[in-house]
Amino acid sequence: MTNHLAKETSPYLLQHCENPVEWYPWGEEALTLARTQNKPILLSIGYSACHWCHVMAHESFEDEAVALAMNQHFINIKVDREERPDIDQIYQTVHYMLNQRNGGWPLTMFLTPEQKPFFGGTYFPKVARHGLPGFLDLLPRIAEAYYTRGEAIEQQSASLEKLLAESLPEQDVREPEFSEQMLDQVLKALAENFDSVHGGFGNAPKFIHPAELEFCLQRYFTDKNKNALHLAVFTLEKMARGGIYDQLGGGFCRYSTDPYWRIPHFEKMLYDNGSLLYLYTAAWLVTGESLFKQIVEETAAWVLREMQSPIGAKGGYYSTLDADSEHEEGKFYVWDRAQVAQILSPEEYEIVAPYYGLVQPPNFEQKLWNLEVTQSLAEVAQTVGICYEEAQQRLAAARKKLGSVREMRIHPGRDEKVLTSWNGLMIKGMAYSGRVFKQRAWRDSAIRAVDFIRNTMWKNNRLLATYKDGRAHLNAYLDDYAFLLDGLLELLQTEFRQIDLDFAVALAEVLLDQFEDQEAGGFFFTSHDHEVLIHRPKPVYDNATPSGNGVAVMVLQRLGHLLGEYRYLQAAERALRLFYPAISSHSSGCCSLLIAVEEIMTPPPMVILRGREPALSEWRYKLQNRVPHLLIFALSSELVGLPASLDKPVPVDKAVNAWVCQGVNCLPEITSLQELLHVCAVQGRITTLL
């Protein structure tokens, strides 16, 4: 017996299609039913890799008694927050307003038939425990409140609507005063929240904060701020050695439950790893740290092995790996010490045990070990009395054995839907790391994903948000356009294809036409022709992923300079004017917007190379390693039909020539690689030369 979720493509919704609960997907059928029957809506939002979503499902949604109460009192709607971030954003905000604390998943909200929320929480146990009310007891009480307290609910709804309206940024009559001082203040605020012992920002649970780390690296690239570099590099090093990183299989989990990066919430998300590929590659360019290169190589290998659909299945990137396997969180990843000793030779074990913390007390549920690097390999080698190279060989052999044994375990579930926005983040990471490390397979991986999205999820000059099982659907969001455009700009620097530039321009045009608030400025999260919900957010702040507005402003500025398209630059400036008060008052939460602020003050240096291979690639490689923050577009001599801004003269008696530009200004043609390196390396930027 299935409910109304059986025809959905979302793995999360399909996980619930055989519940005794009469679930509906979000849509007109369920909303109409609530109105005609005058029943309140029970809205449950989660995602397939969510541990506590699984717990609540097993305890309540699979339980006949709970299902009976839900079906009797409510129209029950199940939403995948990854497919419908528009709905999730609204009701997470409402949860905070109602409860004065952050929400999370599962999110459990109770709405009127007009979608107005009147009660909500996150996880509820079936019966009361740990200070949480029992779900079974709660259901009839909430239903009774809906029917008997209608006036109070209407008053509360009016207050919530007002608060939601007030949450939108408003135009400020003041002229924005963007300055270096503003950027320095943000860095100071980040430093004050920095964990100087373990890295990262804040305490447990400790998230990755990719926008903050990218801002720090950007400050070093453009201003040589060593403190900014330390914040980023120290954090990346601690994460790489911690249990949040899969020490055997590569890839990062979503967050650490402790301040030490030791025990993660074991789900692996595509978006985190796309951002981290970019960050670790950038950090390697600055430091040359071999650990960072290792992390990039292992994470990229994991993406190719586990997170990208095969060539025959088109090539999009999958969304997540579950936290659970066999109904236990982390079971796939953790180890019994005796088992490790049995698998390895004594010589291998004497390296692995101190290196991965097996000589210390158990760090997972007081009986098992989640692998983390607790001692440097050089120290272990010295203690054991062998050379470093021998220790490396033993560790490599041990990791291979442990990995082979782990592969025989039951794997966590994989959510194989392809999300356009998250693919954009991974395209950026794979394209950038593939270019820097000269890895053709990584570059080709990014190209396959772009081609898949353009061929499958770009219909009638509009993006679709999600794809699975041969079906692409759902109107795309701001993040889909902005993140994919960002990935395309990175891929164009890795391998320039005219088809990708055309795609980027088409995406930018939809951004302006369907998402921009042309009166107030900035970009709405949903398009002008999107389904009407109780609120239309215009997101400002960074979360686990960067702000869609921050990325949109940044990519429009870059594309505007690249093509000489002033409409893009003007839209970016309008958005920054609108968001100026928020940036000024809550600056450390606006790091992606602040990267755009920095670039509106000083447009990023841009180098256009024309010429023939292999010299063309050699110039690009040497230039990016000397000045990491340059935008470099290497255009083959054979390319024709380029936009006027890129259609530079082809060299006649040289293999390559270069055009160094910043904003609308360009230096004269440069035909010597050494001269180009000198020009671009002056103080790390070229502002004073133009």
pLDDT at 627: 85
Using pLDDT thresholds of 50, 70 and 90, give the confidence band for residue 690: very low
pLDDT at 312: 57
What is the mean predicted confidence (pLDDT) over 176-203? 94
Beta bridge partners of 129: 132
Apex CA 461: angle with CA 459 and CA 463, to 5°?
A: 60
What is the mean predicted confidence (pLDDT) over 569-589? 93
**Residue 356 clears pLDDT 70, i.e. is over it:** yes
140, amino acid identity: P
Using pLDDT thresholds of 50, 70 and 90, give the confidence band for residue 571: very high
pLDDT in tens, 583-600: 998 889 999 999 999 999
Please give the structure tokens belonging to residue 175: 């002229």
Count helices and strands in the chain by DSSP H and E runs? 25, 21
pLDDT in tens, 122-134: 999 999 998 899 9
A 10 A CB-CB count for 6 gives 13
pLDDT at 2: 87
Contact status, residue 110 vs residue 146, Cβ threshold 8 Å = yes
Radius of gyration of the chain (CA): 26
The C-alpha atoms of residue 482 and residue 480 are separated, in whole angstroms, by: 6
204, amino acid identity: A
Using pLDDT thresholds of 50, 70 and 90, give the confidence band for residue 681: confident
For residue 415, the SS3 value is strand
What is the mean predicted confidence (pLDDT) over 605-632? 92
pLDDT at 313: 61
pLDDT at 564: 93
**Residue 223 clears pLDDT 70, i.e. is over it:** yes
Residue where the block lists tokens 């055997």:
248
Please give the structure tokens belonging to residue 683: 């103080």
- Phi, psi angle pair for 649, to nearest 5°: -60, 140
The C-alpha atoms of residue 542 and residue 233 are separated, in whole angstroms, by: 20
**Residue 687 clears pLDDT 70, i.e. is over it:** no
Handedness of CA 488, 422, 454, 436 (dihedral sign): positive
pLDDT at 686: 40
HSE value, Cβ hemisphere, 13 Å, CA-based, for 323: 22
Mean pLDDT score across all residues of the chain: 94
pLDDT at 688: 34
Beta bridge partners of 77: 24, 43
pLDDT in tens, 407-431: 999 999 999 999 999 999 999 999 9
- Which pairing describes strands 418-419 and 328-329: parallel, antiparallel, or unpaired? unpaired
The C-alpha atoms of residue 329 and residue 26 are separated, in whole angstroms, by: 29
pLDDT at 680: 87
DSSP 8-state assignment for residue 121: E
Mention every residue, 6+ apart, whose C-beta is less than 8 A from residue 261: 198, 199, 200, 206, 238, 239, 241, 242, 243, 244, 245, 372
pLDDT in tens, 473-528: 999 999 999 999 999 999 999 999 999 999 999 999 999 999 999 999 999 999 99
pLDDT at 172: 75
Residue where the block lists tokens 């920002």:
201
The C-alpha atoms of residue 293 and residue 433 are separated, in whole angstroms, by: 9
What is the mean predicted confidence (pLDDT) over 628-647? 92
Contact status, residue 472 vs residue 456, Cβ threshold 8 Å = yes
pLDDT in tens, 3-37: 999 999 999 999 999 999 999 999 999 999 999 99
Contact status, residue 40 vs residue 144, Cβ threshold 8 Å = no
**Residue 685 clears pLDDT 60, i.e. is over it:** no
